[in-house]
Amino acid sequence: MFGSDSIPVRILVTGTRGKSSLVRLLHAGLSACGLRTYARITGVLPRELSPEGCRVIRRLSPAHVREMCWWLAQIPPDADAVVMENSAVSPDLQEAAGRWLCPTLVVWTTLRSDHQEAWGPGLEGAARALVRGVPRGVSVAGGPEADHPMVRALLEGRGCSLHFPPPTTPRGNHREENLALALRALSLCVAAEAQREAARRAMEALPPDIADFRVLGEGDDLLAAAFSANEVESTARLFAETGWDPAGTTLLYHHRLDRTARLRGFLPWIGSLPWRETVFTRVCRPFADLPLGRFGALAWRDDIRDAAAFERWRCGRGRVFACGNVAGWPLELLMRSGPDGRLS
């Protein structure tokens, strides 16, 4: 059983996007402060970060919200800090993580329209769902998007004090925004200025995560890997960061069969830009070749079933902006890619 009273720093990370990035930053920062820190990242590649290093959590069954409880139960009693990502999607299950962790601080990363089938439409649906995962009376460190009148009102109604980074970070630079939020969160946990400076250096030196946005390749044969953005606003911001002309860019969208609402949400944005070409791939499962209803008319490339097939297709194609979902061959590609984007 997790003994929260013996661990002085307990941070719960919530939000629409960027949770895993914040967990990694906070683990690096707290560890640099000399704290024995344990952290858990969910997503396609769930991992535990500990004083001993990084360990991939092997799943023998589909993801389940109780994974958070099971993980907390094996935290050693000599831990100084725990950082956990709230992996619940259902509004009714948002409270579970806070009940199990009893956080001393909640970090709210972003507020964007997502999971509309569970949360409802727009920012209001996302805000009302996520706020249910914030325990009453707990301090909240929020990113720029969480500084929203609706979020403020909902959190103040729960007796939560709100803390935001100083408005010095240029909007649109997601890495700098994440770093500023992590530093603000640490300032609420760590009193010594020298420790906070050590934390800053450690977080600035942290290399990108495996699925973080990056541009791979050489010359004009480039791949912008934005698979993990997962929703339209983040994806559009990342494409803007490239500075590429859509008329000279191939758009590739990778689809998960259980994320039909996500594909539906992306189609207006995809159709709004004059791409050189649009291509759709999908996670291959039994019956994946059956028609996808009204999506059947899209330009599906079912010959791209693994990373090697994608590499053959991409060779000589010029600039490719790839988005949608990282599950399947995109994760294989990113795990096996060298600095030039070629398979190792």
Q: Which pLDDT tens digit goes with each residue over 171-199?
A: 557 788 899 999 999 999 887 777 889 99
Which residue carries 């729960």 as its tokens? 158
- pLDDT value of position 94: 84
250 close to 314: Cβ distance less than 8 angstroms:
no
Per residue in 236-272, pLDDT (tens digit) is: 999 999 999 999 999 999 998 878 888 988 999 999 9
Which residue carries 């039909």 as its tokens? 260
For the sheet containing 53-56, what is the strand order? 53-56, 47-50, 37-41, 81-85, 9-14, 105-108, 139-142, 162-163
Maximum average pLDDT range among 208-217, 250-259, 284-293:
250-259
**Which range (14-18, 35-39, 290-294, 303-307) has the least confidence?**
290-294
102 close to 10: Cβ distance less than 8 angstroms:
yes
Query: Mean pLDDT throughout 34-43?
Result: 91
- pLDDT value of position 338: 61
**Residue 58 scores a pLDDT above 80:** no
Percent share of the chain, pLDDT over 70: 87
For the sheet containing 221-226, what is the strand order? 214-218, 221-226, 319-323, 249-255, 277-282
- Name every residue whose Cβ is closer than 8 Å to that of residue 143 and which is 6 or more positions away in sequence: 15, 18, 108, 109, 110, 164, 165, 177, 178, 181
Query: Mean pLDDT throughout 75-83?
Result: 94
Confidence of residue 287 (pLDDT cuts 50, 70, 90): very low
Identify which has the larger pLDDT, 291 or 167: 167
Per residue in 294-331, pLDDT (tens digit) is: 777 898 999 999 999 999 999 999 999 999 999 889 99
> What are the structural domains, with CATH classification, of the chain?
4-204 (3.40.1190.10), 214-336 (3.90.190.20)
**Residue 168 scores a pLDDT above 80:** no
Backbone φ and ψ for 36, nearest 5 degrees, come out as -75, 105
Bridge-partner residues for 277, per DSSP? Answer: 250
pTM of the model: 0.83
Confidence of residue 205 (pLDDT cuts 50, 70, 90): very high
